Structure 1
Amino acid sequence: MSADFSARAVALAGACAGDVEIHSAIAEFRDLIGTLGLAHSVCGAWTGVSTHRVHRFFFNDWPEDWLALYNEKQIFADDPFVEEARRSMTLYLWSEVEKRRPLTPRAQAVYDIGRAYGWREVVGVPIHGPMGYQGLVSLASFDTATFSPQERACLDLMSRALHERCRREIGFGLVSEDMPKLTAREIECMQWVAVGKTDWEIAQVLGISRSTAHFHVEGAKKKLGSTSRSECVTRLALYGLL
């Protein structure tokens, strides 16, 4: 890695911490990753759970025919590369995911589709935030690529900085709705739901009737806009109420 690459990567990260113009920052980012053989990039995020989940691309220059194939094959739901973003805290490679754990038949099929298309390496930089916020910056190459520890560090640094600059530009992932106002009893009941207790068991623990326990659980579900107990537990956990 050249000193110039390192200096430019650090400068880009610093600029993104300020109010650098988005399009110029993305152009500099693409130019920098291109020097490492990474021809395409995408940056996006998702937040929320179940029917409340929202996805957003900040920038995406994936080839049009690959995007069409990705959507046609409905790869996103089974993409092990995307799934790895939920498990990893640091930069990872497409080639590493395949070796890290056994792939399901569907996940292996996704790899086969990617290789047949021509991908040889993809870099993933996972982003984790509050309230279930999840971001991912992906950088792809049609050539076999290797990266030194210093190059990986620079890719990680500027990817995270650019992602945050893009997110901050539009305020994506910020909680715009008021925190749900559950009663103390509703939260108490849901705490027991979270550990697998039934309405009858909750009633025994709290010294209330089964119907009263059910009433409080249903009240919590309604306030959270949840259709199931598991979804309600997940959303309460994301709000930090469990």
Structure 2
Amino acid sequence: MSSKAFARTLEVIRSLDRARTPAEVCGTLLESTRQFGAEYILAGVIPMPGASRQHQISSIVLDHWPKEWSHRYFSHGYVFQDPAIRTVRRSSAPFLWSELKPLYREDAAGRRVMEEASDFRLRQGFTIPVATLEGEVAGLSIAGERLELAPEDRGVLALLATYSLGRSILLRETAERETVRLTPREREALQWAAEGESEWRIGERMGISEHGVDKHMRSAREKLGTRTRTHAVAEGIRLGLIK
């Protein structure tokens, strides 16, 4: 990377650092990638096979994608047929969509996804796989009618994609943490649950009945949008509400 390109990349990273929402991160990244022909950006955690449509959509972190295509894509379950998604799951190397053609030449479903995407100005794309700190698989794609990427541009984009995705996930989790407000007693009950205590033992520690513990846990689950104790504990830890 030339000194000029390095300085320009650092300036983009500084701009990403000043972003206060995922939308601002997306706008900053899009502005810096327009020089390569990028018109659209999409990034998120790759959902597990069989994930519901709602879960697929909630996995998106950065979204500047044609709305009509997104609706069609998730309505038809294309995430499980998309050659790019399959490649992100098994490889950590960035790739151009054109490099995927041998993978879907004999795959009618995969070919349909790629051909239909081009109808929505997503004719050429570049995808960067990213591993999150939690060990999840994520990916960031830029796309447009025509991309022009030199070999040395791939490394720069991989760096910016990783930083942008990490910054956006942090901003989203911070916003969620500020939105979810557990009472001190709900937080305490959830903390004891995280340590494996039964409701009877939690009641003993908190000086309340099992019914009182159940009331606090049920309220915490509702605020966290979870149905089970285990899921509530996991979400509480993810949001930094408990340790």
Q: Tell me which interval the TM-score lies in, with the shorter structure as reference length.
A: 0.5 to 0.7
1:169 maps to 171
- Assess, with a 3 A threshold, how the Cα gap between structure 1 residues 128 and 105 changes in structure 2: closer, same or farther: same
Q: CA deviation at 1:76?
A: 1.3
8 Å Cα contact 1:92/1:123 also seen in 2: yes
Change (3 A) 1:51 1:24: closer
Q: In the alignment, is the contact (CA less than 8 A) between 2:26 and 2:63 conserved in 1?
A: no
In the other structure, the counterpart of 1:43 is: 43
Partners of 1:151 and 1:134 lie apart in 2 by 22
Q: How many residues align?
A: 181
8 Å Cα contact 2:83/2:104 also seen in 1: no
Superposed, 1:11-50 pairs within 5 Å as: 11-13=11-13, 16=16, 20-22=19-21, 23-46=23-46
Q: Determine the C-alpha separation between the residues in 1 that align with 2:195 and 2:65.
A: 37
- In 1: Cα distance, 2:24 partner to 2:4 partner: 18
Structure 1 residue 50: deviation in Å? 6.0
The aligned residue for residue 193 of structure 1 is none
Q: Conserved in 2, the CA contact under 8 Å of 1:48 and 1:54?
A: no
Check conservation: 1:47, 1:131, Cα contact below 8 A.
no
2:96–2:125 CA contact under 8 A, matched in 1 = yes
Give the TM-score, by structure 2 length.
0.60
Pairing partner for 1:151 from 150, 153, 178: 153
Q: What secondary structure does 1:135 align onto?
A: strand
Post-superposition offset of 1:7? 2.5
Corresponding letter in the other structure for 1:25: V
2-side partners of 1:131 and 1:180: how far apart? 22
Matching of residues 98-113 of structure 1 within 5 Å: 98-99=101-102, 103-113=106-116
Runs of 5+ in structure 2 lacking a partner? Answer: 175-190, 198-228, 232-243
Residue 10 (structure 2) aligns with: 10
Determine if the alignment matches structure 1 residue 85 to structure 2 residue 116. no
2:15–2:28 contact (8 Å) kept in structure 1: no
Shift of 1:79: 0.8
TM-score normalised by length of structure 1: 0.60
Structure-to-structure mapping, 1:50-69, within 5 angstroms: 54-55=55-56, 56-69=59-72
Stretches of structure 1 that go unaligned for 5 or more consecutive residues are 182-222, 226-242
Contact 2:40 2:65 in 1 (8 A): yes
1:162 and 1:106 mapped to 2: Cα distance? 31
Would the alpha carbon gap of residues 179 and 165 (structure 1) be closer, same or farther in structure 2, given more than 3 Å must change?
Answer: farther
Q: Aligned partners of 1:71, 1:62: CA distance in 2, in Å?
A: 12
Question: Following the alignment from structure 2 to structure 1, what is the Cα–Cα distance between the partners of residues 79 and 63?
Answer: 15
- The structural deviation recorded for 1:178 is 4.5
Q: Is the 8 A contact 2:83 2:103 kept in 1?
A: no
Instruction: Output the CA distance in 2 between the equivalents of 1:148 and 1:139.
Output: 15
Give 3-state SS (helix, strand or coil) of 2:38's partner: coil
- Structure 1 residues 51, 45: CA separation in 2 closer, same or farther (over 3 Å shift)? closer
**Shift of residue 97 of structure 1?**
1.5
